[in-house]
Amino acid sequence: MSSSDLIEKQPLDILVEKLKEEFKNPQPEGFTGNGEVITQLLSQYVNNHNDWKEYVFYCPYSYSRNLIAKTELFELMVICWRRGQPSPIHNHENQRCWMGCVKGQLEETYYVFRDTKCTRGKGLLEQSYTHPIDNGSVGYITDEIAFHRMQSIAEETISIHLYSKPITECNIYCPEKGTITRKRLGYFTQYKKKCNLAVNPDCQPPQTNTPIVSDCSSSSTTTSSQPVFLKY
């Protein structure tokens, strides 16, 4: 018996194993992994377990992305939000995204192009739908549904996000100007360890020491501040 056999598997480890199995299954739509099965796996986890706490880090300047697991087919992470730390409006690069809330409450706002009322087109955006994602609920979005902005309604919110396939860059939309910029997506922690912000470009904090309140403000921000990690 190896030493690893003696370590009891945590619920997140079991979830990752089940996801690895499910994402092997080809789907008629061209994806791998059945969407309903994956939603059920995530829902079962978020409603019954709390070992996600080991991955929680807050940043004073931005919501933080904390990697749990990554394969060629999916990535799983804990995102920690404080009120006033919204995401920019973004797409999902034609990938699928599930979001399970384990603490607090998220608000998801959909955006579509004003002219076409969908995500095909260009120009100015408009809000099309806003709804909460409560503690214990699992949300789902694709580019077919909408672009979206996520934010915490509660003082602090924690959610578990599953992307298939992993997304390393995405579009950021300015709704008023109709401009689109590309954003590289990094992590604040990976496998419970802080990223080396000095050498890993994926782990850079936002280029501002003020909360992101506008998707059009990135070109005017100049200050780079190191985030302070606060253990949950």
- State the binding site for Fe cation: 90, 92, 148
Structure token pair of residue 56:
């929680």
Residue 87 burial (C-beta neighbours within 10 Å; 0-12, 13-18, 19+): buried
Annotated binding-site ranges: 90, 92, 148
In three-state form (DSSP H/G/I as H, E/B as E, the rest C), the secondary structure along 46-94 is HCCCCHHHHHCEECCCCCEEEEEEECCCCEEEEEEEECCCCCCEECCCC
| Helices and strands (H and E) in the chain: how many | 3, 15
Structure token pair of residue 108:
């998801």
Residue 130 burial (C-beta neighbours within 10 Å; 0-12, 13-18, 19+): exposed
> Which residues on neighbouring strands pair with residue 112, listed in sequence order?
126
Peptide linkage before 183 cis (omega within 30 of 0) = no
Please state, in angstroms and rounded to a whole number, the distance separating the CA atoms of residues 178 and 66.
30
